Structure 1
């Protein structure tokens, strides 16, 4: 499991399900758009504090950002 990829994919999935841009989401959680972009493109590792801020802004439990989607067989 590539945890950075799983986290980035989940962040993008939940953010787009909310129907908001990276910029609007970044503002909602008090971060910069380029930081959110870097996470979604697997170029950033992030702190536990920022993980919690992202989960709060998404309205989900923190662990949900680490759940790997299983491919259908």
Structure 2
């Protein structure tokens, strides 16, 4: 069974966040995203807009393509 793209994306965000030693709350703050919404993103419960992808990339200091 194939993993949903939302879950793959969320897992990748979590992986990059942890590699940089940033808490979920801190990442949400840096990206200007609600902490609860950040949790939904990492769990793969939400579709993420292009705008949010760029906000997260900027906060993590990576290219948006690093999420895929």
The question of a shared fold, defined as TM-score above 0.5 by the shorter chain, is answered with yes
TM-score of the superposed pair, with normalisation by structure 1: 0.84
Extract structure 1 runs of 4+ deviating beyond 6 A. Answer: none
Alignment size in residue pairs: 66
Q: CA RMSD in A?
A: 1.1
Which residue in 1 is equivalent to 2:44?
42
How far apart in 2 are the matches of 1:53 and 1:8? Answer: 14
Larger Cα-atom Rg: 1
Listed as ranges, the gaps of 5+ residues in structure 1 are: 67-73
By how many angstroms is 1:16 displaced?
0.7
Structure 2, gaps ≥5 residues long: none
